[in-house]
Chains A and B, each alone.
Chain A
Amino acid sequence: MNIIVLVKQVPDTSEVKINRETNTLIRDGVPSIINPYDRYAIEEALRLREKHGGKVTALTMGPPQAAEALKEAVSLGVDDVVLLSDRAFAGADTWATSYAISMGIRKIGQYDLIIAGKQAIDGDTAQVGPETADMLGLPFIAYIRKIEKVENNTMVVERLMDEGYDVVETALPCVITVVKEINEPRVPSLKGKMKAKSLKVAPWSAKDIAADESKLGLKGSPTQVVRIFPPAPRGQREMLSGPLEEQAAAVVKKLKEQSLI
């Protein structure tokens, strides 16, 4: 089973401070880490490889120093890495990023499954997974908390929902994003760390992945940030359980208590 894991290098937000005047993140001098959700994606890929054999490739798009995130992936045990790095990618929104990533994946060619974290902790958009799937014409399932089984080019997974979970069957190849409930990520191995240390990562350019330059970077980014605001908080909710009659009685009681009926 050949698996591609999408990873992103992000600032360690536990160390980020906010500029109170501009309300933006102060990124200077903040250490970079692998997006925490991507560590779950890497772990799941490694576990699938241990079970089914095959190869795990970690792919990232970013500046040259994003190679560090790939090296960390190697120290954890991934077999191969791809760094998409080119001036032409700079300023990309999630759409242009997903386009570059999808072209990178096309160049890799051979894959059964693509796994990403549910979102990145810097942008928090949760868009690159689904957009990449769409551009590759692949099925997409978000918020996977468990991969139940993989056989005969199909996969059965559990998708975490607000209340409970869905069991979904999909054809392979497909793209999934995973939540932290899926596993407990491992620490690197010493052999992995030594391998990572001597690894030279040769980046792929826009040309290497045969990308249409007009769809890349700032030029290829339709997103316009108009305003940033916190969403209105959801009201308090309460789930009732038990026999229907008791639930109905409880609802009536609550409505009366609040003088709504």
Chain B
Amino acid sequence: MDYILTEEQLMIRDLARQIAVEKIVPVRAELDEHNKFPTDVMKAIAQADLLGLYIPEQYGGLGKGSLDFYIAIEELSKACLGVSTTYAANALGTYPLLLFGTDEQKKKYLPDIASGKKYVAFGLTEANAGSDASGIQTTARLEGNEYVLNGTKQWITNGGEADVYTVIAITDKSKGPRGASAFVVDKGTPGFTFGKKENKMGIRASSTTELIFNNCRIPKDNIIAKQGMGFIVAMKTLDSSRAGVGSQGVGVAQGAIDEAIKFARGRVQFGQPVTSFQAIQHMLADMQTQTEAARALVYSVARMIDSGAKDFSRASAMAKLFATDVAMKVTTDAVQVMGGSGYMKEYPVEKMMRDAKILQIYEGTNQIQRTVIGLDMIKEASKAK
């Protein structure tokens, strides 16, 4: 399929592909096996300018759009979702500053984020607040010129590795949904430590930890947007990054198809390559068709965002939902096409299948995406008459 990409977008694709082939594929099994953060790979990604893709030029980035960014995510995801999660979560953590930060905050943080000198994480989830983000219990109390943070964030991607954390905390419980605020917290601030590193089923190269705030004092100016806007910052951030999770799905699905077809062509049973069986042909055909449909949806949503659409909540939810359900199905089928070999660690598809599962869970489970889409449809229908 030809998506009529610009010359620059093709350049981004080639570059991300080169990083995937030269820097990620040789080490992905080891990163997975040993739960190792991809330090060298992230350095290569930074050196290639890809950490600054979506950051405006005036803050040291390349000022590109969502599609350019998603193309990079897709290529990296073909090789390893652990790496691409590290890369994409860096953007997730940056969006609050990008969308709501003051010029001063942007000047302070964005150039170092664009160059890869600083990594970023986004902290919303807590033990008692997953799908229901309004249940967060971390508090931020204003004392003179400082906010004092207390509480524990759970399952935060890039935890411990990032230098900058954008965090949502309750500033006034009585105000309900208007009672939370967003903050930027630097690693090393007294009272801010990390809990245990999670031992995960997949994306094991990605670091996932707790963030522990114990009377952590930060300057009052570290608030992002106004007091009370925390959930708006969080929702807009997730709207902006969600379709990127879709491109992770497209990438891992395509990566799995490429492996499966390569293997199947060489695998002889009953005296012929297994690709000569219609059962296999049809499975491959479904896998590629679903992946292509997912890609088309993700790219369309990216183009919608890049053309300046105001509300793309439903669209990005659909891209995330569809592409990640496809990713789970396609990676499972890739293992099936490869038979017992697909189940073994000598081949990368078992990892792809384990990795793909997270895409249906983080940044809003796929049940929650359906709720977002359904409610938006009903709202629209009720307005129409």
Q: Using a CB–CB distance below 8 Å, which chain A residues touch chain B?
A: 186-191, 193-194, 197
Known: A187-B23, A188-B18, A194-B8. 5 other contacts (CB 8 A): A187-B15, A187-B47, A189-B15, A190-B12, A191-B62
Give the CA-CA distance A190 to B13 in the complex, in Å. 10
Choose among B47, B50, B53 the residue that contacts A186 (Cβ–Cβ < 8 A).
Answer: B47
Number of interface residues of B (CB under 8 A): 16
Give the CA-CA distance A42 to B329 in the complex, in Å. 44
Interface flags for B41-55 (1: CB within 8 Å of A; 0: not) read 000100111100100
B52 to chain A, nearest CB (A): 9
Chain B, range 24-74, C-beta contacts under 8 Å to A: 44, 47-50, 53, 62
Give the CA-CA distance A251 to B7 in the complex, in Å. 65
Q: Is the CB of A190 within 8 A of B15?
A: yes
B50 to chain A, nearest CB (A): 7
B10 to chain A, nearest CB (A): 10
Choose among A187, A191, A194, A197 the residue that contacts B19 (Cβ–Cβ < 8 A).
Answer: A187
The 4 closest A-B pairs by CB, nearest first: A190-B49, A189-B49, A187-B18, A189-B48
Q: State whether the Cβ of B22 lies closer than 8 Å to any Cβ in chain A.
A: yes
Q: State whether the Cβ of B375 lies closer than 8 Å to any Cβ in chain A.
A: no
Residues of B near A188 (CB, < 8 A) are: 15, 18, 48
Residues of A near B47 (CB, < 8 A) are: 186-187, 189
Q: State whether the Cβ of B344 lies closer than 8 Å to any Cβ in chain A.
A: no
Give the CA-CA distance A197 to B22 in the complex, in Å. 22
- Closest residue of chain B to A75 (Cβ to Cβ) is B15
Give the CA-CA distance A194 to B8 in the complex, in Å. 8
Q: State whether the Cβ of B5 lies closer than 8 Å to any Cβ in chain A.
A: no
- Closest residue of chain B to A77 (Cβ to Cβ) is B47
Residues of A near B22 (CB, < 8 A) are: 187
Do A193 and B44 contact each other (CB < 8 Å), given the known contacts A187-B22, A187-B23?
A: no
- Closest residue of chain B to A193 (Cβ to Cβ) is B11
Choose among B7, B44, B53 the residue that contacts A187 (Cβ–Cβ < 8 A).
Answer: B44
Residues of B near A193 (CB, < 8 A) are: 11, 15
20 sampled A-B residue pairs with Cβ under 8 A = A186-B47, A187-B15, A187-B18, A187-B22, A187-B47, A187-B48, A188-B15, A188-B18, A189-B47, A190-B11, A190-B12, A190-B15, A190-B48, A190-B49, A190-B50, A190-B62, A191-B49, A191-B62, A193-B11, A194-B11
Residues of B near A194 (CB, < 8 A) are: 8, 11
Residues of A near B18 (CB, < 8 A) are: 187-188
- Closest residue of chain B to A186 (Cβ to Cβ) is B47
Give the CA-CA distance A188 to B50 in the complex, in Å. 11
* Residue of A187, A194, A197 ringed by the most chain B CB atoms within 10 A: A187
Give the CA-CA distance A189 to B8 in the complex, in Å. 12
Residues of B near A186 (CB, < 8 A) are: 44, 47-48
Give the CA-CA distance A186 to B11 in the complex, in Å. 16
- Closest residue of chain A to B18 (Cβ to Cβ) is A187
Residues of B near A190 (CB, < 8 A) are: 11-12, 15, 48-50, 53, 62
A78 to chain B, nearest CB (A): 14
- Closest residue of chain B to A192 (Cβ to Cβ) is B49
- Closest residue of chain A to B53 (Cβ to Cβ) is A190
- Closest residue of chain A to B14 (Cβ to Cβ) is A193
Residues of B near A197 (CB, < 8 A) are: 7, 11
- Closest residue of chain B to A190 (Cβ to Cβ) is B49
Residues of B near A189 (CB, < 8 A) are: 15, 47-49
Give the CA-CA distance A191 to B53 in the complex, in Å. 11
Give the CA-CA distance A186 to B15 in the complex, in Å. 11
Give the CA-CA distance A187 to B62 in the complex, in Å. 18
Give the CA-CA distance A41 to B361 in the complex, in Å. 46
Give the CA-CA distance A191 to B7 in the complex, in Å. 14
Residues of A near B23 (CB, < 8 A) are: 187
B84 to chain A, nearest CB (A): 16
Residues of A near B62 (CB, < 8 A) are: 190-191
Give the CA-CA distance A193 to B53 in the complex, in Å. 14
A228 to chain B, nearest CB (A): 33
Give the CA-CA distance A191 to B115 in the complex, in Å. 12
- Closest residue of chain A to B40 (Cβ to Cβ) is A184
Give the CA-CA distance A190 to B12 in the complex, in Å. 7
A80 to chain B, nearest CB (A): 20
* Residue of B7, B12, B15, B53 ringed by the most chain A CB atoms within 10 A: B15
- Closest residue of chain A to B68 (Cβ to Cβ) is A190
Residues of A near B12 (CB, < 8 A) are: 190
A77 to chain B, nearest CB (A): 9
Give the CA-CA distance A186 to B44 in the complex, in Å. 7
- Closest residue of chain B to A185 (Cβ to Cβ) is B22
Residues of A near B49 (CB, < 8 A) are: 189-191
B79 to chain A, nearest CB (A): 13
Give the CA-CA distance A239 to B11 in the complex, in Å. 49
A50 to chain B, nearest CB (A): 11
Residues of A near B7 (CB, < 8 A) are: 197
* Residue of A188, A189, A190, A194 ringed by the most chain B CB atoms within 10 A: A190
B53 to chain A, nearest CB (A): 8
